[in-house]
A and B are shown apart, each in its own frame.
Chain A
């Protein structure tokens, strides 16, 4: 009996793997989606078994009614928008940070250059921001 339950569980895992193969989502979303599908398939299997089907036959029926591959693809499309947005944000964030830092630090660099006078002898004050080098 225990062996049969283990087989059924392994079969269900195999069925879920067919959907999972279509998903490329973040771990939490994927787990949530697969938990829900597992719950659905377990309901259908239980009903089919109550009608007298074996566990294997019940799971085969549940999988056929569910439409594993089509559903997997559509779920991927549905959630990919969010995943893509997260991806763009993740990829763009360092660039954004670099731009902000650069913009924030530029005046300091600019003034340091003026203060040292090492760069250009003619630039003793700054026509851009009005800075005047007190050391000159």
Chain B
């Protein structure tokens, strides 16, 4: 698994929670939003979103409900729970801290980030 895949896998949960904190969304909509907002960085096989969504539902971070959008079509919307919002807050703090600590470590010895 590439580094990008690992980062993506590790951050999928918080990304989903942050999107759903705005409004309920269905699976395809979530995958499209992730792709659009990240400029394609979080592009992945669309189906792989569903195991994560189902796991998060099992954990109690999300609930879901089917909604009829037309006589021939219905969508399963995911809704963030209070527990999910709490987890989002905790994970957001953790990621901010991680990035804050990581960037100086990368920049100082190698100078890699000086020109970026």
Which A residues lie at the B interface, using CB under 8 A? Answer: 19, 33, 35-37, 39-40, 42-44, 65-68, 70-71, 74-75, 77-79, 81-82
- Whether B27 lies near A78 (C-beta < 8 A) is no
Which B residues lie at the A interface, using CB under 8 A? Answer: 26-28, 45-48, 50-51, 54-55, 58, 73-76
* A to B CB contacts below 8 Å, 29 in the list: A19-B47, A33-B54, A36-B50, A36-B76, A37-B47, A39-B27, A39-B74, A39-B75, A40-B27, A40-B28, A40-B47, A65-B45, A65-B46, A66-B47, A67-B45, A67-B46, A68-B47, A70-B48, A71-B47, A71-B48, A71-B50, A71-B51, A74-B48, A75-B50, A78-B51, A78-B54, A78-B55, A81-B58, A82-B58
| B27 contact set on A, CB distance < 8 A | 36, 39-40
Known: A36-B27, A39-B27, A44-B46. 9 other contacts (CB 8 A): A33-B50, A40-B28, A43-B28, A43-B75, A70-B45, A74-B50, A75-B51, A75-B54, A79-B54
**Nearest-Cβ distance from residue B35 to partner chain A, whole angstroms:** 11
Chain B, interface SS category: helix
Return the chain B residue nearest A44 by Cβ: B28
| B50 contact set on A, CB distance < 8 A | 33, 36-37, 40, 71, 74-75
With A39-B76, A65-B45 known to touch, is A74 a contact of B28 (CB < 8 Å)?
no
